Structure 1
Amino acid sequence: MTAATPRRRTLLGAALGAALTAGSAAGCTTGDGPAHPLRLATGPEGGPYNAFGRSFTEAVTAGGHLTLTPVSSSASVDNLQMLADGSADLALTTADVAEDAVLGHDTFDHPIGLAALARVYVNYLHLLAPADGPVRGLADLAGRRVATGAVGSGNQVTAGRLLRQAGIDVRPYALGLAESLDALRSGALDAVFWSGGVPTPAVSALARELPLRFVPLDAVAARLRERYGPVYTAVTLPAGAYGLPAPVTTLGVGNYLTARPAVPEADVRRLLGILFDQWATLLRSVTAGARLEPRFAVSTGAVPLHPGAAAYYRSVYG
């Protein structure tokens, strides 16, 4: 390693410095008293948020100090609305939706009190269509029947932004993953947007029975990053996933584990201890090859770290 190469600890320290400053302003109860039952807003049955949420709640409850209950939902937007009205204590959400919530933009007409525990993994935006169909590129979506994600999902937010940025009008269908893939299989849709881990099991299953085309989104991904900032990144569906003969560049958006600021710091520290101890098992259900690292986990943009999360990262990683 040369003197000009930043050391891993230095990089983590810099990331934590910014995150801890933001986290200290979020506000939270600080007592380390007895833990109370918590509710985690996840996603629809059969989806990756639901799978991760159930695995995580089982791991947390098995630890004996906390009781965590998963609550099914439509996903990101719905989850943060549940945090706002107090029907959930913790929530999974995409980074773009979380940033809208703390800033009071787009879907949210006022800011929502929100704190991040960790950036857990990255969603890949899939645009899939039958290989022998008319959709070969993004421009071919114009006027066609396209599933853009269920109402209340982060998928709907991300797909909608991409289409607006590209200046393409489609015939949108607000469907979840299972319904979207069924409609694509039957010929009722021309294309489907899906935001999730790689490989998504339901997409893999469809690819084994119906030849699929995965449309590159790199050009629009760059413009979205310019417009909305680092909540979006360029990522690649790897060769071999879904039988792809070559990589396909697309749009990535982070997934955050978030909480109401009033969740006790001691509870947050316990939750993160379990997450970091068991991440390999927990992430296996949502995306292949993902790793959870501190410098990645604290990168939560405009969403401040929960003070309990800031304390956890400081105590464990310095």
Structure 2
Amino acid sequence: MRRPFHLSLMVVLALALVLGLGATEKVDARKQFISIGTGGTGGVYYPYGGALAEIWTRHVKDVQAVAEVTGASVENVKLAHKGETVVGLIMGDVAYEAYHGLGRFEGKPQKIAAMFMMYPNVYHVVALKGSGIKTLQDLKGKRVSVGSPGSGTEYMSNLVLHAVGVPYDSFEVRRLSFVENANALRDHTIDVGIWCVGPPTSSIMDLATTHDIMIVPFSDEDIKKVTEKVKYYAPSVVPAGMYKGVDEDVPTVSVWNVAICTRDLPEDMVYNLVKATFEHQDYLLKVYPGAKYTTAENAVKYSPIPFHPGAVKYFKEIGLEVPEDKIAK
């Protein structure tokens, strides 16, 4: 499992680099440039976004798409709202609050709409074996990276850790990217790194090859507190064998990821992008096995916010019903 994933990741990163360099050159005036806000290179958003860029550039007429490294979910919402990117890959909790003007977006609803659901992100609380950290409550007094600024991981960490009685003022807060998390755990400059990501993710896999890691489990009570506080969080597990040294299922929580776009994007354009995505899901699967969850049925079932009319047009065309309250106006 490890080797094919890394091979696919390397291929997509190389592709994204080529596309990124091409973006500095003169783009054919007939082509529509589509920028995709992803995340850091140590997670799944970036290779997944690179695969979308390849699909759309190859299979949507007059489109040139490129995946861009960003601070992830919160930043991607703001970029799409401003029109600085066209498409963003974000976590469902961020999407819900951004669309409705809640939480960190209080009083400022963002001009976004859903395109499709991607896959569930699983919350990983990672420490080194021998650290003495066995429960979430053991994070108190420790050096904890809660995720990079502007990321969905940091957004979720704030909600999750407060829900289980471990607020930010009870530990030393660090805000590092996924790659920085792994390096800081190696160097013992943090005690815990948090990832909210589709498993397996390369940065944790690489760390586990050189160090004995553990993933801190959620208790039943922890899961109950978190899922009661945030409706879009659900019980989940990090499966046994997903990472070297993790030999038993680890209880945790998860949240769906959603591809969003600015609401001003033309209906036909979004229709074509969504159609190409589902018709070429096989390419996504070569990059990330979790893309098996990228289906039209899951989109309609799990989207936390209304869909762009272009996406609705595609779903209805293939016989799916979309409730009126799930259609962006």
Question: TM-score, length-normalised on structure 2?
Answer: 0.82
Is 1:101 the counterpart of 2:111? The answer is no
SS at match of 1:120: strand
Residue number among 42, 48, 70 corresponding to 2:38 in the alignment: 42
Aligned to 1:81: 78
SS at match of 1:43: coil
SS at match of 1:242: coil
In the alignment, the residues of structure 1 paired with residue 192 and residue 65 of structure 2 have an alpha-carbon distance, to the nearest angstrom, of 37
Aligned to 1:29: none
Identify the range of structure 1 (134-143 vs 67-76) with the bigger mean alpha-carbon deviation: 67-76
Following superposition, the deviation at residue 35 of structure 1 comes to 7.0
Aligned to 2:88: 91
Aligned to 2:210: 209
Question: Which segments of 5 or more consecutive residues in structure 2 lack a partner in the other structure?
Answer: 1-29, 321-329
Following superposition, the deviation at residue 301 of structure 1 comes to 4.4
- Say if 1:98 and 1:64 are closer, same or farther in 2 by CA, change over 3 A: closer
Between the aligned residues of both structures, percent identity stands at: 28
Q: Which amino acid aligns with 2:179?
A: A
Aligned to 2:11: none
In the alignment, the residues of structure 2 paired with residue 301 and residue 248 of structure 1 have an alpha-carbon distance, to the nearest angstrom, of 26
Map Cα deviations across residues 210-243 of structure 1 (whole Å, 9 max, x no partner).
11111112532332221121x1111111111113
Query: After the TM superposition, which residues 162-177 of structure 1 pair with which residues of structure 2 at under 5 Å, given as runs?
Result: 162-168=160-166, 169-177=170-178
Is 1:272 the counterpart of 2:268? The answer is no
Residue number among 58, 64, 69 corresponding to 1:67 in the alignment: 64
Q: Does structure 2 conserve the Cα–Cα contact (< 8 Å) formed by 1:239 and 1:246?
A: yes
In the alignment, the residues of structure 2 paired with residue 285 and residue 69 of structure 1 have an alpha-carbon distance, to the nearest angstrom, of 16
Q: Does structure 2 conserve the Cα–Cα contact (< 8 Å) formed by 1:120 and 1:257?
A: yes
- Count of aligned pairs: 284
In the alignment, the residues of structure 2 paired with residue 288 and residue 115 of structure 1 have an alpha-carbon distance, to the nearest angstrom, of 23
Please provide the CA RMSD for this pair: 1.7
Q: Does structure 1 conserve the Cα–Cα contact (< 8 Å) formed by 2:92 and 2:304?
A: no
Q: Which amino acid aligns with 1:107?
A: R
Aligned to 1:253: 255
Identify the range of structure 1 (299-308 vs 75-84) with the bigger mean alpha-carbon deviation: 299-308
Map Cα deviations across residues 155-189 of structure 1 (whole Å, 9 max, x no partner).
00111111111121221100000111101011111
- Say if 1:111 and 1:266 are closer, same or farther in 2 by CA, change over 3 A: same
SS at match of 1:121: strand
Q: Does structure 2 conserve the Cα–Cα contact (< 8 Å) formed by 1:75 and 1:154?
A: yes
In the alignment, the residues of structure 1 paired with residue 303 and residue 50 of structure 2 have an alpha-carbon distance, to the nearest angstrom, of 26
Q: Does structure 2 conserve the Cα–Cα contact (< 8 Å) formed by 1:95 and 1:300?
A: no
Is 1:200 the counterpart of 2:201? The answer is yes
Query: After the TM superposition, which residues 15-34 of structure 1 pair with which residues of structure 2 at under 5 Å, given as runs?
Result: none
Q: Does structure 2 conserve the Cα–Cα contact (< 8 Å) formed by 1:119 and 1:299?
A: no
Aligned to 1:297: 299
SS at match of 1:303: coil
In the alignment, the residues of structure 1 paired with residue 290 and residue 314 of structure 2 have an alpha-carbon distance, to the nearest angstrom, of 26
Map Cα deviations across residues 89-135 of structure 1 (whole Å, 9 max, x no partner).
11110001111101111221311121101111010100110111121
In the alignment, the residues of structure 2 paired with residue 283 and residue 155 of structure 1 have an alpha-carbon distance, to the nearest angstrom, of 23
In the alignment, the residues of structure 1 paired with residue 150 and residue 42 of structure 2 have an alpha-carbon distance, to the nearest angstrom, of 16
Question: TM-score, length-normalised on structure 1?
Answer: 0.85
Is 1:161 the counterpart of 2:163? The answer is no
Query: After the TM superposition, which residues 229-240 of structure 1 pair with which residues of structure 2 at under 5 Å, given as runs?
Result: 229=231, 231-240=232-241
In the alignment, the residues of structure 1 paired with residue 283 and residue 209 of structure 2 have an alpha-carbon distance, to the nearest angstrom, of 26
Following superposition, the deviation at residue 81 of structure 1 comes to 0.4
Map Cα deviations across residues 34-88 of structure 1 (whole Å, 9 max, x no partner).
8732221111234311111111101110125122222221000000000111101
In the alignment, the residues of structure 2 paired with residue 249 and residue 91 of structure 1 have an alpha-carbon distance, to the nearest angstrom, of 29
Q: Does structure 1 conserve the Cα–Cα contact (< 8 Å) formed by 2:114 and 2:303?
A: no
Q: Which amino acid aligns with 1:53?
A: G
SS at match of 1:241: coil
Q: Does structure 2 conserve the Cα–Cα contact (< 8 Å) formed by 1:198 and 1:286?
A: no
SS at match of 2:133: coil
